[in-house]
Amino acid sequence: MAFTEPLRNCGDFGPGDYEWLHLLVGDWQLISDLGFGDLVLSFPVDYIPAARSGNGRGMPAPGSGFRVLAHVRPATGPTVFHEDMVGELLPAELSDPLRAAWVSQRIEQVRPARGDAQDAGTVKAVPLVRNGKTLALLTVHTRQRPGQQASRQEAVYRESADQLLRMANEGLWPDFSAPTGSRRGAPRVGDGAIRLDAEDRVVHVSPNADSALRRLGIDGDLLGVRLMDVVPPALGVSAALDETLAPVLSGRMPWRTEVEGSRVSVNFRSVPLRDRSGRLGAVLLCRDVTELRRRDMELVTKDATVREIHHRVKNNLQTVSALLRLQARRMSSDEARQGLEQAMRRVATIAMVHETLSQGYSQNVDFDELIERQFRLAAEVASPEQTVRTRMIGEFGELPSRIATPLALVINELVTNAVEHGLANRTGTVTLEASRVPGEDGTGQVLEVVVSDDGVGMGDAVIEESGAGAYRPAGAGEGLGVQIVRTLVASELGGSIRWAPREGGGTEVTVHAALDE
């Protein structure tokens, strides 16, 4: 259930209000880290909708408690609540001050009773107001540190947090225009923070931010300097500068950008600060992501290598298939020619799986796209002189390559067998059906594949095989294809196979293949 469910039930708020709160909770770790305190989002237990309040605005009922919807802890300091507060009620002594803040729509400093050491400290109530309506209450809980004087960095951080809270109170932050992508390596407060004033000049640089800038080749005192005056020159004339660099380094837009020096990569994120009267400055977060990008590049290189291997395996298999075709044409014996042609089809089936793997970044295969073409091709090749209709039912979905290759071979053999022996030179239909069913023990999923035909049938006998018993030698009337199917189902697919008469005539072959959890 979404944490905004109480808002949805009261009827006073619209989809834009829910989405705005989701954006805030998705990014409020920033305020928690800058303010060194826990943030708690709460909503009245007893809420009076606007239609019944008498003043056209929804509000908490007198004496109503406040239930916690979401909770975040700071990564830059000690937490106030060691247990998760979601679903709990805030202390009763906070109810009246929180209700007053809700009604006034102004930030209030609350000082609760000091009976519980866990609650000792200060509590700030921030009504989250959007389009004139209070959506919820944000409370900031910080521990008191008597006798300890705040450092310059702590003072700058707390001031920045207060400005973001005022923006949240006025509905100015978060901004819907800010990108929501979460690329790996996004900077956080602890990675490095730079404070800019309204003129884009640096007023504070945290030690971690200073280290990141030094790795880019930027030395010296940066106070009073505009970053756009020092960062591009440090990158060199040959560096490719992204168009987002200037808006981010000046703190004008809530965007992210990444700069690359000769041997270092630094990710920047801009958080503009403003009020209704205008711009106040910005907080820039920065992070040295050199090692992350190096690992990303290694992964990309490995992915490309794996794809190239699949491509070359596909080419080699197609070469083998072509050689088998040439050899088959030189055979004077019909039996030898047919054997080589069957081997050629099997090799071509494996090549198709490798071709699919060479075109994607995943080791999973869109099996429906692959088998649809292979299914029709197998029926056509097996019946060049007869009319065979094909029909597919259901979906296979994405399958790992370890299953895709043997399953494609199994289906190819079963379809060929259905055309050559089931239909036996007569017109008919071969049906391929796929579905996912629960496993026998009720856990996991099993892929169920059914290949059926409306041909001459196999009598009333029902044959089901799995496990070690499937490795037996070929029986009377069984060819190499059936032996291949039994072996692949038991060894590679970890499942079972069942031959049975089809209702209405013909044969139905059911294959069960175990899927990964």
- Can you give the pLDDT at residue 424? 74
Band the pLDDT of 117: cuts 50, 70, 90: very low
Q: Is the pLDDT of residue 373 over 90?
A: no
Instruction: Enumerate the domain spans of the chain.
Output: 5-169, 189-288, 292-361, 386-517
pLDDT higher than threshold 60 for residue 118? no
Instruction: Give, for 67, the enclosing helix (H) or strand (E).
Output: strand 66-72
Read off the pLDDT of residues 307-328 as tens digits, 9 standing for 90 and up. 777 677 777 777 887 877 777 7
The pTM of this model reads 0.63
CATH superfamily of 386-517: Histidine kinase-like ATPase, C-terminal domain (3.30.565.10)
Model confidence band, residue 103 (pLDDT cutoffs 50, 70, 90): very high
List, as one string, the DSSP characters of 150-187: PPHHHHHHHHHHHHHHHHHHTT-SS-TTS-----TT--
Same fold, 189-288 and 386-517: no
Q: Which of 29-38, 383-392, 445-454 has the lowest mean pLDDT?
A: 383-392
pLDDT of residue 47: 93
Share of residues in the chain with pLDDT > 90 (%): 35
Q: What is the pLDDT of residues 421-430, one digit of tens each?
A: 778 777 888 8
Provide the percentage of residues in the chain whose pLDDT is more than 70.
Answer: 87
Alpha-helix residue ranges (DSSP H) falling in 424-512: 480-491
CA pair distance 260, 263, nearest whole angstrom: 7
Dist. CA 194–CA 230, nearest whole Å? 14
Tokens 């692959």 found at: 370
Could you give the CA distance from residue 228 to residue 10 in angstroms, rounded to a whole number? Answer: 48
pLDDT at 119: 46
pLDDT tens digit sequence for 332-365? 787 787 777 777 777 777 777 777 667 665 667 7
C-alpha to C-alpha distance for 236 and 421, rounded to whole angstroms = 73
How many whole angstroms from its chain centre is CA 149?
44
Question: CATH classification of 189-288, choosing from 3.40.50.300, 1.20.1250.20, 3.30.450.20, 3.30.110.40?
Answer: 3.30.450.20
pLDDT digits (tens, 9 = 90+) for 26-58: 999 999 999 999 999 999 999 999 888 777 788
65 pLDDT above the threshold of 90: yes
What does the mean pLDDT of the chain come to? Answer: 84
- The answer to whether residue 442 scores a pLDDT higher than 90 is no
Start-end of H helices in 195-289: 207-215, 231-235, 245-249
DSSP letter, residue 149: P
CATH label, 5-169, candidates 3.40.50.300, 3.30.1490.20, 3.30.450.280, 3.20.20.70: 3.30.450.280
Helix axes of 334-358 and 480-491: crossing angle, nearest 10 degrees: 30
Exposure on the CB side of residue 37, measured as CA atoms within 13 A = 26
